[in-house]
Amino acid sequence: MTSTTKNLLVELFVEELPPKALKKLGEAFGTVLLAGLKAQGLAGEHSALNVFASPRRLAAHVSHVLAVAPDRAQSVKLMPVAVALAADGAPTPALLKKLAALGADASVVPQLKRAPDGKAEALFLDSTVPGATLAAGLQAALDEALAKLPIPKVMQYQLEQGSGADFQPGWTSVHFVRPAHGLVALHGSEVVPVQALGLQAGRQTHGHRFEAAMDPVVLQDADHYERQLAEQGAVIASFAKRRDDIVRQLQHAAAQQNAKPVDDDALLDEVTALVERPNVLTCEFPAEFLAVPPECLILTMKANQKYFPLLNDEGRLTNRFLVVSNIRPADASRVIQGNERVVKPRLADAKFFFDQDRKRTLESRIPQLAKVVYHGKLGSQGERVERVRAIARAIGQQLGGEALAAQADRASLLAKADLLTDMVGEFPELQGIMGGYYARHDGETEAVALAVEDHYKPRFAGDALPRESAGRAGLVVALADKLETLCGLFGIGEKPTGDKDPFALRRHALGVIRMLIERDLPLAVPALLDTAFAAFPPALATAKDDVLQFTYDRLVGGLREQGSSAQEVDAVIALRPERWGDIPRRLAAVRAFAALPEAAALAAANKRVVNILKKAEGTVPGTVDAALLKEPAEAALAAALHDVAPRAEAAFARGDHTGSLQVLAALKGPVDAFFDAVMVNADDPALRANRLALLGALQRAMNRVADLSRLAA
Residue 597's pLDDT band, with cuts at 50, 70 and 90, is very high
Residue 3 has a pLDDT of 47
Task: Spell out the SS3 assignment of 106-163.
Answer: HHHHHHCEEEEECCEEEEEEEEEECCCEHHHHHHHHHHHHHHCCCCCCCEEEEEECCC
Q: What percent of the chain has pLDDT over 90?
A: 78
Q: What is the mean pLDDT of the chain?
A: 92
Residue 76 has a pLDDT of 83
Residues 6+ apart with CB under 8 A from 344: 285, 286
Residues in the chain: 713
Query: Is the separation of the CB atoms in 590 and 602 below 8 Å?
Result: no
Lowest-pLDDT choice from 21-30, 149-158, 209-218: 149-158
Query: Is the separation of the CB atoms in 4 and 188 below 8 Å?
Result: no
412-438 per-residue burial string, b: 16 or more CB within 10 A, e: under 16: bbbbbbbbbbbbbebbeebbbbbbbbb
CA angle 615, 617, 623 (to 5 degrees): 100
HSE, side-chain direction, 13 A CA sphere, residue 504: 11
Q: Quick check: 552 pLDDT over 90?
A: yes
pLDDT tens digit string along 444-466?
A: 999 999 999 999 999 998 899 99
Q: Which residue has the higher pLDDT, 55 or 121?
A: 55
Q: Quick check: 156 pLDDT over 90?
A: no
Residue 21's pLDDT band, with cuts at 50, 70 and 90, is very high
Residue 168 has a pLDDT of 54
CA angle 303, 307, 308 (to 5 degrees): 110
Residues 6+ apart with CB under 8 A from 160: 167, 171
Query: Is the separation of the CB atoms in 486 and 388 below 8 Å?
Result: no
Q: Which residue has the higher pLDDT, 604 or 129?
A: 604
Q: Which residue has the higher pLDDT, 165 or 48?
A: 48
Residue 164's pLDDT band, with cuts at 50, 70 and 90, is very low
Give burial (CB, 10 Å; 0-12/13-18/19+) of 184.
Answer: buried
pLDDT tens digit string along 196-251?
A: 998 999 999 999 999 999 999 999 999 999 999 999 999 999 999 999 999 999 99
pLDDT tens digit string along 356-387?
A: 999 999 999 999 999 999 999 999 999 999 99
pLDDT tens digit string along 475-514?
A: 999 999 999 999 999 999 999 988 889 999 999 999 999 9
Domains, in order of start, for the chain = 6-69+133-231 (no CATH), 74-129 (no CATH), 239-357 (no CATH), 367-563 (no CATH), 584-711 (1.10.730.10)
What average pLDDT score do residues 161-188 get?
76
Residues 6+ apart with CB under 8 A from 617: none
List, in sequence order, every beta strand (DSSP E) within 492-625.
Answer: none
What average pLDDT score do residues 255-278 get?
95
Residue 172's pLDDT band, with cuts at 50, 70 and 90, is confident
Residue 160's pLDDT band, with cuts at 50, 70 and 90, is low
pTM here?
Answer: 0.81
Residues 6+ apart with CB under 8 A from 653: none
CA distance 432 to 449: 10
Residue 129 has a pLDDT of 76
Lowest-pLDDT choice from 129-133, 366-370, 531-535, 559-563: 129-133
> What is the rounded (10 degree) CA torsion for 194, 199, 201, 206?
-150
Residue 622 has a pLDDT of 85
300-320 per-residue burial string, b: 16 or more CB within 10 A, e: under 16: bbbebbebbbbbeeeeebbbb
Residue 111 has a pLDDT of 81
